[in-house]
Amino acid sequence: MELTRHTRLGVTLLEDANRPHGVTLAFTERTGGFSAGQYSSLNLGDACGDDATAVEKNRMLALKAAGAQRWAANLVNPRQVHGDHVVVVSSCDAVAVAAAVAEARAGADAVVCTARHVPVLLCFADCVPVVLVAPGGFAVAHSGWRGTIARIAAKAARTLAAECACEVADVSAYIGPHVTGEDYEVSQELLDRFVGEFGPSVRASERHLDLARAIGVALADAGVDERNVLDCGLSTVGNVGRFFSYRAEDGRCGRHGAIACLCD
């Protein structure tokens, strides 16, 4: 498992070029697109106020850079609601994809996919992107503090293993850019809640919370081998030149993405 940085068509991606289990997976950076101002320039989020045409062009460009543009019509992009609902896509049939798209747009924070040629995109600006891969499929999860306390990534891992008829121990997890512990100051009440749920290792300091560590604990509890969890360790707050950050930019920003697809 490794993430390397590549630029194609002006789009910079963090990706595993080894395509584990045939899965193309990438975390996008913010540069290289068509959006302007506070959304500059590769904003992939359609719910933050950006021009819809620019967002659509950005998404097509990102899919092309990731090698999934041929199946853009099948894109599944949830309306993220900080919950724990997982959408399952098991067929690339047009009716099945349409149903998955509708379910995702009704509200979901993870998509499990075992169908070929169905790209999945979730969007982020400090929350934790998690891409899971297994023999026969993948999942993409959005894990803010609410999703983390609800163990959305672990739920997605168990669902993925069930859909792929494999063990949870066969699942690998990639944690993308997010607000890391040194930058994530929270209330004492919330920090104590996380410590009670996941243990003292999630306490980055007296008032700072390590969401990625909490996700790692949840994945381990679900049966994912700790050796199969890769955290890129990049802070969105500390790298606003590369990533969008809701916290660092006072909520006025676009969204970068996590993209995955079972491509040819």
Q: Is residue 15 one of the residues assigned to a domain? A: no
Q: Which helix or strand (DSSP H or E) is residue 213 part of? A: helix 211-222
Q: Would the pTM of this model clear 0.75, i.e. be above it?
A: yes
Is 86 in contact with 227 (CB distance < 8 Å)? no
Q: Tokens in use for 226? A: 């700790």
Q: Is residue 14 one of the residues assigned to a domain? A: no
Q: Tokens in use for 17? A: 């070029």
What 3-state class would DSSP assign to 137?
strand
Is 89 in contact with 76 (CB distance < 8 Å)? yes
Q: Is residue 6 one of the residues assigned to a domain? A: no
Residue ranges with strand state E in 55-207: 86-89, 110-113, 120-124, 128-134, 137-143, 172-175, 203-205
Q: Is residue 253 one of the residues assigned to a domain? A: yes
| Domain ranges, residue 81 | 21-262
What separation in angstroms does the CA of 137 have from each of 69, 257, 261?
A: 19, 19, 9
Q: Is residue 12 one of the residues assigned to a domain? A: no
Q: Tokens in use for 88? A: 């399952």
Q: Is residue 43 one of the residues assigned to a domain? A: yes
Q: What pLDDT shows up at residue 126? A: 98
Whichever domain contains 231, its CATH number is 3.60.140.10
Q: Is residue 13 one of the residues assigned to a domain? A: no
Spell out the per-residue pLDDT of the chain, length 264, in tens: 999 999 999 999 999 999 999 999 999 999 999 999 999 999 999 999 999 999 999 999 999 999 999 999 999 999 999 999 999 999 999 999 999 999 999 999 999 999 999 999 999 999 999 999 999 999 999 999 999 999 999 999 999 999 999 999 999 999 999 999 999 999 999 999 999 999 999 999 999 999 999 999 999 999 999 999 999 999 999 999 999 999 999 999 999 999 999 998
Count up the domains in the chain and report the number. 1
Q: Is residue 120 one of the residues assigned to a domain? A: yes
